[in-house]
Amino acid sequence: MKYLTALMLTLCITACGEQVQAPKAKTHEDIFVLIENGGTIASEDQGEALNTALHLLQQLTSLSRRKATSDTQIHIILSALPNRIAWSGTAGQLLSQAEDVKNLIVFKPTFSDLVMAFDQIETTVNLTQPDSIRLYWIGSTVHVPFQQGNDPIDVVVPQEVPSELALANLASKLTTLKIMRVHPDQDKVLQAYLGSLGILKRARSGDIDFELLGEAQTKSRLNTLL
């Protein structure tokens, strides 16, 4: 009887221990792809910009093959249509809808509102509540605010990063930040801005996967943009 009681106690302790060691909840990651498709992209550069975007999106479809990332949500934002998410879905859906997504990326001789685009990213983050964020940004990184009509786009670089850019509010959740095809005159301005957000310090410590790539660097890395 004593042996039976001891055995039951042992089983109870073992069961309790198993409950304590229950697996951790799966973390939730969102991926954002910001593509500048407004008048800040010169007509002669649009082909390469589109090619970069298509390479990145193709590489993102590979996430569908891994269980850990198959449910990750991918959100595409266009700077010439910055007040909404242009496309959203999983990597598997991105693969099956590839042609439709490609047709969304149309370059327009209009504004390229980065402030509104990042406001939309922040709104989406507030709704989806991800534990971490990956951000891939393709473009000149030049901001031209929303405007009505067909007034000519007048771009002066280098340009200071807008103080109201919501990237500052998202920086702490970023595990990846890759900015591609940066205008050569914007490089130093961006470095200073990202340094003020702590991005460069986190990159040096390995806390974030960070890259700031010009046109030539991006072209040489087309097959490894992730």
Digit-coded pLDDT (tens) for 116-175: 999 999 999 999 999 999 999 999 999 999 976 666 677 789 999 999 999 999 999 999
Single pTM value for the model: 0.88
Within 13 Å of residue 157, how many CA atoms lie on the same side as its CB? 18
Please enumerate, as own/partner, the contacts of 200-206 that have beta carbons within 8 Å and a separation of 24 or more.
none
pLDDT in tens, 62-119: 999 999 999 999 999 999 999 999 999 999 999 999 999 999 999 999 999 999 999 9
Separation of alpha carbons 170 and 166, rounded Å: 7
Name the residue ranges covered by the structural domains of the chain. 25-105+133-185+208-226
Closest CA to 123 of 18, 30, 27: 30
